[in-house]
């Protein structure tokens, strides 16, 4: 049994993001699936860990950490090597900025509770929900394509996978579910494909989690 327990859901982008960070750090952890479709995240037990009722949450020692950006920064501070961030402050800001484009301006608009609200409260049909998601993915990926051209090498920043890949791969996975046209983003997609070929990263994929059910995406 590991000192780290990750509460997550196979297909949640923020859970996937955290799994990649743990994998790149080479950290073992126990995975506890929270069944989002059954509403387990809204139960008292889970909300005592995470008051928003959102995944992931990470237990370490006796502490509970919430919010994947905070969890990943914690992993970086606590286990600095291999590093997810480069060394100099300006480079670190560039990497954090690229991650935040996804973390703040793309992912939040396409997660489960938002899609449910669009479909439910706002009565939007599936094609309208798909246009919504694709608009924000497209805008964010266009900016990332420019920044990868500026900072990238084999990966989004330089020649090692790191923080940007943690955020990027789950968003590419989500884009595939929504049939986003990814042809305008060749550099971004080359980075994503290269990252997915890394066995550590591949093991964090949704389809390889114990709670993956293999249903049609």
Positions in the binding site for a copy of itself (CB under 8 A): 51-52, 54, 60-61, 63, 65-71, 73-74, 77-78, 89-90, 92-97, 99-101, 103-105, 107-109, 114, 117, 121-122, 124, 128, 131-132, 135, 139-140, 142-143, 146-147
The HSE-up count of residue 66 (CA atoms within 13 Å, CB side) is 10
Residue 51 C-beta: closest distance to a copy of itself, Å: 4
Residue 47 C-beta: closest distance to a copy of itself, Å: 9
Taking the least distance from each CB to a copy of itself, the nearer of 125 and 213 is: 125
Residue 202 C-beta: closest distance to a copy of itself, Å: 26
DSSP 112-155: HHHHHHHHTTT---HHHHHHHHHHHHHHHHHHHHHHHHHHBSSS
Residue 11's alpha-carbon distances to 78, 102, 160, 174, in angstroms, are 27, 17, 25, 9
DSSP 11-50: T-HHHHHHHHHHHHHT---EEEE--TTTTGGGSHHHHHH-
Residue 174 C-beta: closest distance to a copy of itself, Å: 15
Taking the least distance from each CB to a copy of itself, the nearer of 42 and 217 is: 42
* Cα 124 to chain centroid, rounded: 26
Residue 118 C-beta: closest distance to a copy of itself, Å: 8
Residue 205 C-beta: closest distance to a copy of itself, Å: 22
Of 195, 186, 197, the C-alpha closest to 159 is 195
Taking the least distance from each CB to a copy of itself, the nearer of 121 and 215 is: 121
Taking the least distance from each CB to a copy of itself, the nearer of 23 and 94 is: 94
Taking the least distance from each CB to a copy of itself, the nearer of 74 and 178 is: 74
For strands 63-66 and 30-33, give the pairing: unpaired
Q: In what order do the strands lie in the sheet with 4-8?
A: 30-33, 4-8, 57-60, 63-66
Taking the least distance from each CB to a copy of itself, the nearer of 93 and 203 is: 93
């Amino acid at each position: 049994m590991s000192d780290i327990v990750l509460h997550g859901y196979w297909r949640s982008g923020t859970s996937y993001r955290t799994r990649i960070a743990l994998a790149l750090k080479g950290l073992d952890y126990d995975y506890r699936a929270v069944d989002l479709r059954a509403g387990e995240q809204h139960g008292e037990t889970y909300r005592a860990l995470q008051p928003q009722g959102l995944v992931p949450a990470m237990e370490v020692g006796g502490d509970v950490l919430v919010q994947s950006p905070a969890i990943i920064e914690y992993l970086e501070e606590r286990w600095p090597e291999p590093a997810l961030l480069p060394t100099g402050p300006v480079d670190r800001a560039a990497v954090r900025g690229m991650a935040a484009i996804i973390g703040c301006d793309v992912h939040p608009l396409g997660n489960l509770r938002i899609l449910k609200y669009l479909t439910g409260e706002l009565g939007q049909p599936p094609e309208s929900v798909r246009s919504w998601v694709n608009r924000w993915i497209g805008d964010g990926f266009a900016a990332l394509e420019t920044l990868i051209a500026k900072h990238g090498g084999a990966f989004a920043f330089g020649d090692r996978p790191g923080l940007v890949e943690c955020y990027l791969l789950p968003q590419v996975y989500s884009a595939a579910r929504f049939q986003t046209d990814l042809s305008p983003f060749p550099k971004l997609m080359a980075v994503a494909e290269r990252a997915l070929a890394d066995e550590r990263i591949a093991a964090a994929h949704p389809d390889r989690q114990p709670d993956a059910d293999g249903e049609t995406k």
